[in-house]
Amino acid sequence: MEIPYLPDEILYTIFKAVGECDAKNLGSLLRAGKRALRLVYKEDLLRTCNIQSLYMENHEDILEGGKARCFFDKCLRSANPVANYVEALNRIIHLRDMDGGIELLESNGFNHPKSTLAAALCCACSGDDCSASKLFKVFISSHGHLHEEGAITIGC
């Protein structure tokens, strides 16, 4: 498949919209040649693309050796917050690396509610009450009390 001549800025805008909708749709673009590959692998696109289908349909695709792991790794290096969250949970659950997982969750900052809540819970489970308390307070100040509707829907 050859991409028709369009300026890179227009193609990038299209690719970014496709990625924000569903990263799986970028698969055919990755096979469209070097130009498309260069545009799809731009850090800003990888940071904002929606990778939910990559792990929801078959989570093994993003594990080591999985068919989507290379793309997932690029999203991780670009600091995609969902990729960081999913990889942190993978480290905690499958690799039993609690400290590495918490560190990755905290790398998302405090504006990613799932990461903040997961980090707080993991700190509490690992016995680090001080960090857990701090993270719960940050979560509550940014996203509401745990029993409020907004906070409850974060886990859904």
- Per-residue pLDDT reduced to its tens digit, 11-23: 899 999 999 999 9
CB 55 within 8 A of CB 84: no
Burial 106-123 (b: 16+ CB within 10 A, else e): bebeeebbbbbbbbbbbb
- Per-residue pLDDT reduced to its tens digit, 21-80: 999 989 888 888 888 899 999 999 999 999 998 888 888 888 889 888 999 999 999 999
* DSSP class of 63: S
- Per-residue pLDDT reduced to its tens digit, 93-149: 989 999 999 999 999 888 889 999 999 999 999 999 999 999 999 998 887 787 777
pLDDT classification of 155: cutoffs 50, 70, 90: low
